[in-house]
Amino acid sequence: MSKMEIGKKSCDNEKMIDLMKDYREIFWLNPGVNAEECNETPPAVTVNDIDEAEARLIRFAPYIAKVFPETGKTAGIIESPLTEVPELKKALNADEKQELAGSLYLKCDSHLPISGSIKARGGIYEVLKLAEKLAVEAGLLSYDDDYAVLAEDRFKEFFSKYSVAVGSTGNLGLSIGIISAKLGFKVTVHMSADAREWKKALLREKGAIVTEYEYDYGKAVEEGRALAAKDPKCHFVDDEASVDLFLGYAVAGRRLAKQLKEKNISVDNEHPLYVYIPCGVGGAPGGVVFGLKEIFGEDVQCFFAEPTHAPCMTLGLLTGLHSKISVKDIGLDGVTAADGLAVSRPSALVGRLMETRLQGCFTADDERLYPYLNKLYEGDGIFVEPSACATFRGPYLVEKVYGDMGKKEFKKATHILWATGGSMVPEDEKRSYLNLR
Ligand SMILES: *Cc1c(COP(=O)(O)O)cnc(C)c1O
């Protein structure tokens, strides 16, 4: 039995946790994947909800195209390219001393328009849904209107009576801040200690109020939630529990399916799809996984990547405790250069939904992130932020571990690394990541 395989048995979970306590890299396969869900409670999220989210984003497309001209190419649909990364593959092959058999793609959410990260999916969706609800209830908008009217001053004035708040490690704040300010809402972003300075500065420039905390992400969310609860006209975007955020991310599944079809990439029993996504609290990657599993079922295998210093989702799934356990409880510090992943406690909503949908998790040392970032930039000319690099070893782990378990054929496999952020990083910051100082 291979060393990796033992991670599937619950009696070995303790061994995994011991390794995690030592900040060691692990690879864990989820024994519950593809199992029947026990339906004690009504499902938190249904396929019908994703249909609705998709339709809502289409209604808003004329507005988005009007106020964010950079979305003109896609007529107001916020989407990113799927691109092959042959040079990264060569560099990683050399690094890992292993020839990757499957093809390697990057899903460039790092280059999503408006806020330059995966948060442009869920974050923007939640605020749009709020705006639609308020405007329709006030009799100012109906579902079959051309939503471009929302750009008119009378709407801005209407929304200015309401406010939006969010707690964030940075990118969710950027996404919520930018769209809320554009619509006319008052917006407050509660930023954790890990948030980069440039993200705070950019938000202030866009008209958001930025509150800074000395503590980590969980605390920023908690404080933000408490403050927002005191104001009935304030909507709090709850990254730890929001179904709307989740649905905005889940729409990515169908969009990716369409892109794969356009590229003539088959996904079926013979042509498996492997998707690797960096995970913080779990909302963004969890939503994407939910959307992908709904379409591809067992033909897609999804993995989360986390930093060795903050593997909160892995710990929550392994123990079954989800949000009831923090990485601090096993002595980890939660400090990482992957600022978007610096989260100690996972989302309860998402953890449970991942029990039957996520194939596995692995962790990455911080030391890997900058070399990976540089390899992608030097090779394929794509810049991503450190958090977005946590996945790069994933395809190699999978081919190696599955190979050891007897599955040798990967030539027809497609591996997708989900790049989650990077295009908004300012030039000087970028140069320092790239050792170009
Ligand atoms: C937010 C974020 C993630 C992870 O999303 P969660 O919803 O926190 O799990 C990954 N990478 C980047 C760059 C992010 O900003």
Distances (CA, A) of 11 to 15, 25, 27, 335: 8, 19, 15, 29
What's the predicted TM-score (pTM) here?
Answer: 0.95
Is 302 part of a structural domain of the chain? yes
Return the closest-CA partner of residue 347 out of 317, 392, 386: 317
Is 64 part of a structural domain of the chain? no
Helix (H) or strand (E) holding 47: helix 47-67
Clarify whether residues 238 and 278 are in a common domain. no
- Residue 431's CB is within 10 A of a number of other CB atoms, namely 12
Residue nearest to atom 11 of ligand 1 (CA): 420
The residue among 178, 212, 245 that closes a domain is 245
Is 68 part of a structural domain of the chain? no
- Residue 226's CB is within 10 A of a number of other CB atoms, namely 11
pLDDT (0 to 100) of residue 290? 97
Q: In what order do the strands lie in the sheet with 209-212?
A: 209-212, 186-191, 163-168, 234-237
For residue 278, report the distance from its CA to the centre of ligand 1, in Å. 6
In tens, the pLDDT along 121-159 reads 999 999 999 999 999 999 999 999 999 999 999 999 999
Pocket test for ligand 1, best of 387, 389, 392 (most atoms within 8 A of CB): 387
Kindly state the average pLDDT of the residues 12-29: 94
Clarify whether residues 202 and 275 are in a common domain. no
Clarify whether residues 262 and 373 are in a common domain. yes
For residue 121, report the distance from its CA to the centre of ligand 1, in Å. 11
Clarify whether residues 275 and 288 are in a common domain. yes
Clarify whether residues 254 and 357 are in a common domain. yes
Q: How confident is the model at residue 87 (pLDDT cuts 50, 70, 90)?
A: very high
**First-last CA distance in the chain:** 48
Ligand 1 neighbours by CB, cut-off 6 Å:
117-119, 171-172, 278-285, 340-341, 343, 385, 387-388, 420-421
Tokens of 135: 């405007």
Q: What one-letter code names the amino acid at 31?
A: P
**Average pLDDT of the chain, as a whole number:** 93
Of the listed ranges 12-26, 169-183, 216-230, the least confidently predicted one is 216-230
pLDDT (0 to 100) of residue 6? 38
pLDDT (0 to 100) of residue 64? 98
Clarify whether residues 387 and 329 are in a common domain. yes
pLDDT (0 to 100) of residue 12? 78
Clarify whether residues 222 and 299 are in a common domain. no
Q: How confident is the model at residue 180 (pLDDT cuts 50, 70, 90)?
A: very high
Distance in angstroms (rounded) separating the CA atoms of residues 238 and 244: 9
Residue 1 pLDDT more than 80? no
The residue among 211, 245, 279 that closes a domain is 245
Is 66 part of a structural domain of the chain? no
Of the listed ranges 51-65, 186-200, 278-292, 328-342, the least confidently predicted one is 186-200
Clarify whether residues 310 and 230 are in a common domain. no
Contact 100, 32 (CB under 8 A): no
Beta bridge partner(s), residue 188 = 165, 209
Clarify whether residues 14 and 151 are in a common domain. no
- Tallying the residues shown for the chain, one arrives at 437
Domain count, the chain: 2
Pocket test for ligand 1, best of 171, 221, 383 (most atoms within 8 A of CB): 171
pLDDT (0 to 100) of residue 215? 79
Is 60 part of a structural domain of the chain? no
The residue among 213, 245, 277 that closes a domain is 245
In tens, the pLDDT along 379-425 reads 999 999 999 999 999 999 999 999 999 887 899 999 999 999 999 99
Clarify whether residues 156 and 289 are in a common domain. no
Report the b/e string of 33-72 with b at 16+ CB within 10 A: beeeeeeeeeeebeeebbeebbebbebbbbbbbbbbeebe
pLDDT (0 to 100) of residue 4? 43
For residue 194, report the distance from its CA to the centre of ligand 1, in Å. 13
Clarify whether residues 274 and 413 are in a common domain. yes
Clarify whether residues 319 and 359 are in a common domain. yes
Is 69 part of a structural domain of the chain? no
pLDDT (0 to 100) of residue 42? 67
CATH code of the domain in which 206 resides: 3.40.50.1100
Is 81 part of a structural domain of the chain? yes
Is 342 part of a structural domain of the chain? yes
pLDDT (0 to 100) of residue 406? 87
For residue 137, report the distance from its CA to the centre of ligand 1, in Å. 33
pLDDT (0 to 100) of residue 437? 46
For residue 139, report the distance from its CA to the centre of ligand 1, in Å. 36
Tokens of 146: 């051309």
Kindly state the average pLDDT of the residues 339-344: 92
- Residue 324's CB is within 10 A of a number of other CB atoms, namely 13
Domain of 232 in residue numbering reads as 118-245
Pocket test for ligand 1, best of 106, 109, 118, 304 (most atoms within 8 A of CB): 118
pLDDT (0 to 100) of residue 216? 79
Residue 322 pLDDT more than 60? yes
For residue 279, report the distance from its CA to the centre of ligand 1, in Å. 6
